[in-house]
Amino acid sequence: MKARGGPDSSLRISRREFIQGAVAAGPIMSSALRAGSGPGATQLVSLDGTWKLYFDRQGRWAKKDWIADFLSRDPRPVQIPWSQMRAEMEGDAIEFRVPATWEEYRPDTTGDGWYWREVVIPKAEFPRSVRLVFNAVRWGAEVFWDGRRVGLYLGGFTPFTVNVSSVAEPGTHHELAVHVVNPGGGFAGDWEKLFFENIQIPQSHNFGGIWQPVEMIVTRPVFIEDVFVEPRTTENVAVAHVTIRNYTPQTQKLSLHARALLNPSAARLAGTSREEVQVGRSQKLIVSMPLKLDPLVLWEPANPARYRLEVNLRSSSPAIQDDHAVTFGMRAFTVEGRFFFLMAWRPFPGCLRMALKLSANLVTEDSQTCRHR
């Protein structure tokens, strides 16, 4: 990152580093764990690292209809002459680290950029689902697989997933290219209206690029896509909202088992739940699984108690199974009048930042600086 002047510039961090530090903190955000082993287990392949990047300063390959294309119910198929384009870009391309923002290395860069790299699909003995997960790209992104567009995204701050199962053969090599557009931005205290095409978008600092991690997830064609835990502290219950995706052409009968462990390192069982479900062909299903927790240990800054939730998906076929785990804390965040309350604590301004730093082991401070109700 290029430091901008000032006596403490060496201590400043980029927006990407700040967000990643927040995720690492744990008390504010839960973390997903997708460890797997054995035949057919979920495979996570990081696509972080060195990519090629070409800044299209002349707008030669710029896109003119991002918004209309993004809002279309049936986006038109796009095939680009990627081999020819890459050959013309390579002379002026640079090696660029992902994840990173353009501002870290080339401040004030706006417009279009093209990233690319090679991707190798792992070999597999079962039919597989292959998805690319981009945790954030600012502001717009077109994703191309061997020159064929497979994904389109606008927004800049949220993850998006691209399913490439139909074009990714196990054991093969492919070229992944991402066309990114950055409309620019301003500075806090000196904001100007920011437009993308003819639409006003939220004000932001000027930063662009693939600024959060990218990974490839290889699973069986029926899998747990997401698990969100809803704490109900007054009922001593954690509700696991489990999203199941079925990419097969048949309806699938499945068993879901969930268990919560207090203090994951000690593996103390705190609650279980089980559901039998059916997921239609090529469909998604969200299943809510309540777990009565015993013991219930509430999260608070002085004692950031965590649970680990493990969810297993099984069927009569050995080719259909999956496991997913998340860590979570039982806490309630409410608003009363003009005050925010985290459990029974009303923080001073900056107290949540203090708790974040405590959990990330960045500093040590007295948690009593948080004011009790």
pLDDT score, position 373: 46
Same domain membership, residue 168 and residue 45: yes
Residue with tokens 């860590």: 327
Q: Is residue 133 part of a domain?
A: yes
> Which residue type does 214 have?
V
Same domain membership, residue 299 and residue 212: no
Q: Is residue 15 part of a domain?
A: no
By three-state DSSP, how is residue 234 classified? Answer: helix
- The DSSP line for 134-180 is ES-EESEEEEEETTEEEEEEE-SSS-EEEE-GGG--TT-EEEEEEEE
Same domain membership, residue 249 and residue 210: no
Is 0.85 surpassed by the pTM of this model?
no
What CATH number is attached to the domain comprising 283?
2.60.40.10
Domain boundary among 219, 237, 269: 219
Q: Is residue 3 part of a domain?
A: no
Q: Is residue 27 part of a domain?
A: no
Same domain membership, residue 322 and residue 337: no
Q: Would you state the structure tokens that stand for residue 330, as one six-digit string?
A: 């039982």
pLDDT score, position 316: 85
pLDDT score, position 353: 47
Alpha-carbon distance 61 to 56, whole Å?
7
Domain count, the chain: 3
Q: Is residue 144 part of a domain?
A: yes
Same domain membership, residue 231 and residue 104: no
Q: Is residue 230 part of a domain?
A: yes
pLDDT score, position 362: 39
Same domain membership, residue 98 and residue 63: yes
Q: Is residue 23 part of a domain?
A: no
Binned average pLDDT, 10 residues per bin, the chain of 373 residues: 35 47 39 51 91 96 92 88 97 97 92 97 81 96 97 94 91 96 84 86 91 94 94 95 94 97 84 97 96 93 90 87 93 81 59 46 42 45
- The answer to whether the CB of 153 falls within 8 A of the CB of 137 is yes
Domain membership of residue 287 as a residue range: 222-328
Residue 42 burial (CB < 10 Å; 0-12/13-18/19+)?
buried
Q: Is residue 215 part of a domain?
A: yes
Same domain membership, residue 244 and residue 184: no
